Structure 1
């Protein structure tokens, strides 16, 4: 079985995706006590996917990485995003929560066959462009470590110079690094969540990998709603209750209607799709679902208007009331708003219904806002696992040929 370690595991979204892709975790590292309590609670409940995880609750810098064998198949994790997020302090390398240097150090120590690193779209902003390039170059050449007294800008300059000269390509440990900005909605997640995935394969393996092709599209959703009408039929929405098409989509719908064939992709999944069988949290049936409790206090104000039922939700954010948590609410059919419950938010992040979140609503929402959608993590990790399997078969074939010779 393929082996992995997960850093900055949070409530377990990416780690669950990695496990579903067939990897066995040798370490799941997370320092936040509430997120650790969530994982422990599910382990105590016997939830099968996390039951065997070797959880280590503490700072990733203090973990005994010597206990993990070199040449492990995969290192995965999402370093804290606050230094780069739109709602954070935007201090990047000046933020004590910047864990990219630690991530590079772990790659340097373990020499994994591959790594998957996830972070916020803000990492790619122009104001961070030099530091983003610095991160990518460090991951490409992890053995070219920063010297004592060397600033990150000086280290970046040295990496650039040595890369362009070709000197680094002869050093021992190098990676082919592929950064990709993706919208989770394009992969069947019922949420418009833009994130950066940085995937690398060790150069000596000869991997041939590209980020998986999108499976869902907005055009396909528009076609399903306003051309074929299949969306409304599927949800048994009466004609008089179908909302009016937004004016900015009218021209696009006309073009789709004029085309001979519908889009090849599946429709984006919407809030209605994700929550179709969940009762209102104030109904009697809500007690049969974990973490499905009504949270009062939702209101609309500038910049915080909630998520319409018939689109993917807006990005879930790590907060409760006010900024940024004020966006974590749905717009109901009558135009009123209410906060998403923890269970509804977990559905939007594609966590299974059997998975429990520890803590009060605000704390659980923080964990969910920081999480990687499980299904997205599984999709990326599965593509990496497939490539590693191809590499392994290729190596076995070469060994067999040498024996026969």
Structure 2
């Protein structure tokens, strides 16, 4: 870490692995990190990055992109001190929508995340995955991941299976009084609580090298469902802001009526902002079915949406359901919008990108189904930025506290 007077802040370098559609990588950039390498295997995702770089999209400009399997990336190519490694190791092994094979799945890339930490020895790391990794059936492997990240120097031996390696790591951890090379924190965050217009729970593993001495706590949510309920059903501010006439407003859902009665008897909420809804995210976009020549990149109507059991779409006045990638193509219900008249249609790529808080300047070049798979796997940009900013702040505070002043980290 160095201090750069030009920006009046600490300049921190990062390496992004398993970049996917770029949600976490853009969030890291927004939080002030400069990527020393961005590694992604998927050709379509890399072509999207390159196209945006050719158009000088601020979100990805200057990224050193490596289109390759992270298992073969040579970290000696990184010529700067890396402050933070970030990335989302492929989540299908642990996803509720996947095959649930975990460590048996060839797509499990956590061993590569550990190798990166071992070889680069960053001050911190941020790894994201699905909430499913927290399931009881994955408890042994999840704690194995944590132990490896806490002690990345203890490499798995030849002919040692993962359970034997885990046991050796656990013994080492206990014998050393639970002291570790990296201190780790595991948090499950709901993106809606941080201003993302989507209910999306994701697990973050955040770690700091012990000798750095950084103090970190999970960033507090800034948005709440309670504030949204108050805005809609007590003050009515939500409907007025969107100019929705009383006759066009939906009925109060039975499941929240008691909560609304309680909110009506309390003081107005002002500590938190409202959860953001689908309407908040896409209201200014024309309906692509009736305005096909709208001139907005990636805002193209895709036919074929239909409702069936378990696939009912996201309603306008709630955060969207979790966008999903799907094992056999794009799922229907999670990627559909329920319009005001009750009809449904698929989200356009631009709408889905907004639900994932990608900037409008960032354009996607692949076909609808391919791009929606990328978006379904992505970290919401805003959520990535919030977590990255909290890590940056912890590192900056530690450096500022040193009596030597503006020293290199």
Q: TM-score, normalised by structure 2?
A: 0.94
Distance 2:212 2:34 in 1: 21
Query: What is the alpha-carbon distance in structure 1 between the residues aligned to residue 178 and residue 73 of structure 2?
Result: 29
**Counterpart in the other structure of 2:8:** none
Instruction: Check whether the contact 1:318–1:325 (CA below 8 A) recurs between aligned residues.
Output: no
Equivalent positions of 1:137-216 (< 5 A) are 137-166=147-176, 169=179, 174-216=181-223
Residue 131 in structure 1 maps to residue 141 in structure 2 = yes
| Aligned counterparts of 1:41 and 1:82: Cα–Cα separation in 2 | 27
Greater CA drift, 268-277 or 159-168:
159-168
Q: Say yes or no: does 1:247 pair with 2:254.
A: yes
Matched, 1:34 2:41: no
Instruction: Find 1:24's aligned residue among 21, 25, 34.
Output: 34
Using the alignment, how far apart are the partners of 1:259 and 1:180 within structure 2? 31
CA positional deviation for 1:45: 1.4
CA–CA distance in 2 between the matches of 1:286 and 1:319? 29
Measure how far apart 1:262 and its partner are: 2.0
SS of residue in 2 equivalent to 1:288:
coil
Give the Å deviation of 1:322.
6.8
Q: 1:266-285 maps to which residues of 2 (within 5 A)?
A: 266-284=273-291
- Distance in 1 separating the partners of 2:369 and 2:231: 35
CA-to-partner distance for each residue in 1:12-47, whole Å, 9 max, x for gaps?
A: 111001011111111000000011111011111121
Q: Which moved more, 1:181-190 or 1:142-151?
A: 142-151
Q: CA deviation at 1:62?
A: 1.3
Cross-structure match for 1:304: 311
Deviations 1:311-343 (A, max 9, x none): 000000114987634420011111111000000
- Alignment pair present for 1:99 and 2:106: no
Q: Would the aligned equivalents of 2:85 and 2:124 in 1 still touch at CA under 8 Å? A: yes
Mapped to 1, the partners of 2:298 and 2:133 lie a distance apart of 32
Partner of 1:54: 64
Contact 2:313 2:332 in 1 (8 A): no
Whether contact under 8 Å (2:306, 2:332) holds in the other structure is no
CA gap 1:321/1:56 in 2 versus in 1, 3 angstroms: closer
Q: Could you tell me how far 1:68 is from its partner in structure 2?
A: 1.8
The structure-2 alpha-carbon separation of the partners of 1:320 and 1:300, relative to structure 1 and needing over 3 Å to count, comes to: farther
C-alpha distance in 1 between matches for 2:108 and 2:294? 40
Q: Distance in 2 between matches of 1:53 and 1:262?
A: 42
Look up the match of 2:4: none
Q: Is the 8 A contact 1:70 1:112 kept in 2?
A: no
Alignment match, 1:264: 271
RMSD: 1.7
Q: What SS does the aligned partner of 1:324 have?
A: coil
> What's the counterpart of residue 373 of structure 1?
380
Given candidates 283, 292, 296, the residue that maps to 2:299 is 292
- Judge which range, 67-76 or 27-36, deviates more: 67-76
Task: Work out whether residues 298 and 329 of structure 1, in 8 Å CA contact, stay in contact via their aligned partners in 2.
Answer: yes
5+ residue gaps, structure 2, are 1-10
Deviation of 1:63 after TM superposition, in Å, equals: 1.4
Secondary structure, aligned partner of 1:327: helix
Indicate which of 18, 21, 36 corresponds to 1:8. Answer: 18
Aligned length: 397
- What is the 5 A alignment of 1:381-392? 381-392=388-399
Partner Cα separation in structure 1 for residue 339 and residue 172 of structure 2: 57
**Where does the alignment leave 5 or more consecutive residues of structure 1 unmatched?**
none
Partner SS for 2:334: coil
**8 A contact 2:286–2:294 mirrored in 1:** no
Kept in 2, the 8 Å contact 1:317–1:325? The answer is: no
- Asked if the contact 1:279–1:286 (Cα under 8 Å) also holds between the matched residues in 2, the reply is no
Note the C-alpha offset of 1:235. 0.3
Q: Which moved more, 1:146-155 or 1:322-331?
A: 322-331
